[in-house]
Amino acid sequence: MSRYPELQQELEHRRKKGLQRMLRTTEYVAECQGTWIVSNGQKLLNLSSNNYLGLSHDPRLLNTWQLTANTFGAGGTSSRLVVGNSSCYHHTEQIISRWKEREATLLFANGYMANLGCISALLDRHSAIYSDRLNHASIVDGTILSRASHYRYRHNDYEHLQYLLQKHKEKHRRNLIVTDTVFSMDGDKANIEELIKIKHDYGAFLMVDEAHASGVYGETGAGLCHQLGVHQEVDILMGTCSKALGLYGAYVCADQVLIDYLVHTCRPLIYSTSLPPALVTAIGHSVAIVQQEEWRRQELHRKSNQFRTQLQQAGLLVPSGDSPIVPLLLGDNQTAIEYSNRLEQAGILAVAIRPPTVPEDSARIRFSLMATHSDEDIAWAAHQTIQTAMELGVIT
């Protein structure tokens, strides 16, 4: 008998609704550079990773990591404000600032901490945050910690955003609009140009989360804002090192005064041990590779379009777009779980995404592609996905 019957009951309730979660143990097939993995002894085509450019196994990054660790040691050993601010930090933050064309950059442990820390440091109970309804959970949690008033506008509905600003902006000392640029579960994009216009019209600040856009968009991979040529009009550019860069960590880029303010007030920065110097140096090297190797973005977009088009032509409910995130919308939780299980039996790892990660009745398979997937693997995966849809009666 469980010592915690209420928790056991809650878990059982989630299981019945198709919302159970479990940790999966995986091993990477080194020669495949992450495109194939092994789970439970089975080799699977990996269509669930955010390693968009295929850099996580790049030997240049592994070599940089090892050489730096030999010099600086394995860990950060303390907060950056004590003795954890190695010279590697200054060098890599300068590299990112030049890449993003901003005055200053601050590295964080991960994207969750970057959003949580930045929002809660800059806003307070006299402030207001206007957030897209489909923004990442880290933005929501940062808003809660800030104690600011929280106004959620309907997804990409800028008339609704303007209505909320018009109604509430005079009540607050500081108003912040915040949005993902590429939304993690749908792969669609915010209209950054329209948001900049609204920002100016209402005297608000604008923060964007480029987690799924950095490395993927723009001539040098600097992100969607750079591709549109509007990056200087955005107050805060946040991005991660754990997706297209193939590593771990995150960064916030802004004017020097804003970065200085975060150093004084951002609790996740002040009270966290610094990143390992080897990781920090590898991040700088990865940014250099991303800027130089345009072929990775070209291949990523070509293969994503190939896969998306094949599923759409078969009649599957896959939204249009040009990101490497390809959602197959199914709606029902149990259908999504069964679909994922059958794909795994066929040799494909494509995870079912369910509430609360996505809204109710919008469960899906979230495919995410890599530049280093082969054309043969992509074609085979599309065929298996279509066959599975037919077996389950999703299409006829």
3-state secondary structure of 43: strand
> Taking the chain, what is the end-to-end CA distance rounded to the nearest angstrom?
47
Sign of CA dihedral 133, 217, 99, 290: positive
The closest of 251, 245, 284 to 269, measured between CA atoms, is 251
> Among the options 184, 214, 286, 340, which is catalytic?
184
* Burial per residue of 318-351, b for 16 or more beta-carbon CB atoms within 10 angstroms, e otherwise: beebebbbbbbbbeebebbbbbbebbbebebbbb
What is the sign, positive or negative, of the torsion defined by CA atoms of 210, 212, 217, 222? Answer: positive
Residue span(s) of the chain under CATH 3.90.1150.10 come to 294-321+336-395
- Active-site residue flag, 212: yes
For this structure, is 184 an active site residue? yes
Structure token pair of residue 238: 């946040």
**Which candidate, 388, 213, 369, places its Cα nearest to that of 316?**
388
Q: Are 339 and 365 in contact (CB under 8 A)?
A: yes
Indicate the helix (H) or strand (E) that contains 254: strand 250-254
Domain span(s) for CATH 3.40.640.10 in the chain: 59-292
**How far apart (Å, rounded) are the C-alpha atoms in residues 106 and 252?**
5
**59-292 in CATH: which number?**
3.40.640.10
Give which of 263, 231, 233 is closest to 100, Cα–Cα: 231
Q: What is the pLDDT of residue 30?
A: 65
pLDDT of res. 19? 85
β-bridge partners, 250: 108, 240
Domain 294-321+336-395 listed as CATH 3.90.1150.10: yes
Selecting among 57, 189, 212, 303, the annotated active-site residue is 212
CA distance readout (Å), 281 to 51, 67, 160, 271, 275: 18, 10, 43, 22, 10
- Largest Cα separation within the chain, whole Å, is 63
Kindly state the tokens that stand for 134: 């489909």
pLDDT, residue 20, reads 86
Residue 374: active-site member: no
Contact status, residue 151 vs residue 139, Cβ threshold 8 Å: no
Question: How far is C-alpha 109 from the geometric centre of its chain's CA atoms?
Answer: 14
The confidence score (pLDDT) of residue 27 equals: 85
Cβ proximity of 271 and 278 under 8 Å: no
Query: Of these residues, 136, 172, 199, 243, which one is catalytic?
Result: 243
Tens digit of each residue's pLDDT, the chain (396 residues): 679 989 999 999 998 888 888 888 888 776 677 899 998 889 999 999 999 999 999 999 999 999 999 999 999 999 999 999 999 999 999 999 999 999 999 999 999 999 999 999 999 999 999 999 999 999 999 999 999 999 999 999 999 999 999 999 999 999 999 999 999 999 999 999 999 999 999 999 999 999 999 999 999 999 999 999 999 999 999 999 999 999 999 999 999 999 999 999 999 999 999 999 999 999 999 999 999 999 999 999 999 999 999 999 999 999 999 999 999 999 999 999 999 999 999 999 999 999 999 999 999 999 999 999 999 999 999 999 999 999 999 997
Does residue 356 have a cis peptide bond before it, meaning omega lies within 30 degrees of 0? yes
